[in-house]
Amino acid sequence: MKTSWNELSLIEDFLLSDTETEDIIVFEANLLLQSTLKESVFWQQKTYNLIQKYARQQLRTEIELVHKKLFTAPEHRSFRQKIMQLFGK
């Protein structure tokens, strides 16, 4: 199964809500008529979900690295003490 660029663009517009109401209605009608389009939408949505999940995990990893650096490195001792005082009350 190969998805054309035009079809991919329409799917993205539909999933990201970048289209007019009339275009959405036409696209939804096409979804009912074309099983391959419905499958393409499913896989595109699944791809977006995986990308979002990966991005969240990457952000968590970056935040954890910053946290470790700020709260373990000797050069950030004064910052660490200020934060502990702020939240220690």
The 10s digit of each residue's pLDDT in 24-75 is: 899 999 999 999 999 999 999 999 999 999 999 999 999 999 999 988 999 9
| Residue 19 DSSP symbol | S
Q: Quote the pTM value.
A: 0.69
Q: In this structure, are residues 38 and 31 in contact, taking their beta carbons and an 8 Å threshold?
A: yes
Residue 3 pLDDT exceeds 80? no
Q: How far apart are CA 14 and CA 34, in angstroms?
A: 15
Q: In this structure, are residues 19 and 13 in contact, taking their beta carbons and an 8 Å threshold?
A: yes
Rg (Cα) of the chain, in Å, rounded?
A: 23
Three-state secondary structure call for residue 57: helix
Residue 1 pLDDT exceeds 60? no
